[in-house]
């Protein structure tokens, strides 16, 4: 690896560290939103329902942005493969791009469901 490639890799790792912090924040937001959802179903507290939906919209919007970053990163990696890259390297980069694309699509679908499910009928689970 050249010096520039190492610097680029370190930059990517730094960005990924920030994304881990975002995931930690999302975990706590999800935990709180679950308590609001529980309050809505047990006590019929409309205010809790509204807060729950707003938090879920924020969560899935943030996740979609993160997924778009990883999709862009996978696309860039695929596009920047050297002509001398092995078949295995090309196959793995392609699979990484396809996986990132599918995750991004699922994030968009979850955001769509969250936006349109006013009655909280659909249970959303994400990884």
User: Would you place residue 95 in the very low, low, confident or very high pLDDT band (cuts 50, 70, 90)?
Assistant: very high
Predicted local distance difference test score (pLDDT) of residue 127:
47
**61-92 per-position pLDDT tens digit:** 999 999 999 999 999 999 999 999 999 999 99
Task: Tell me what the pLDDT averaged over the chain comes to.
Answer: 93
HEC-encoded secondary structure of the chain? CCHHHHHHHHHHHHHHHHHHHHHHHHHHHHHHHHHHHHHHHHHCCHHHHHHHHHHHHHHHHHHHHHHHHHHHHHHHHHHCCCCCCCHHHHHHHHHHHHHHHHHHHHHHHHHHHHHHCCCCCCCCCCC
**11-35 per-position pLDDT tens digit:** 999 999 999 999 999 999 999 999 9
Length of the chain: 127
pTM: 0.87
């Amino acid at each position: 690896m050249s010096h520039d490639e190492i610097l680029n890799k370190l930059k990517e790792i730094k960005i990924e560290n920030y994304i881990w912090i975002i995931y930690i924040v999302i975990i706590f937001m999800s935990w709180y939103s679950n308590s609001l959802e529980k309050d809505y179903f047990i006590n019929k507290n409309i205010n809790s329902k509204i807060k729950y939906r707003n938090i879920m919209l924020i969560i899935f919007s943030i996740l979609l942005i993160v997924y778009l970053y990883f999709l862009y990163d996978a696309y860039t990696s695929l596009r920047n493969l050297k002509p001398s890259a092995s078949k295995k390297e090309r196959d793995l980069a392609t699979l990484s791009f396809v996986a990132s694309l599918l995750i991004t699509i699922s994030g968009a679908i979850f955001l769509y469901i969250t936006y349109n499910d006013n009655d909280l009928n659909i249970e959303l689970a994400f990884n």
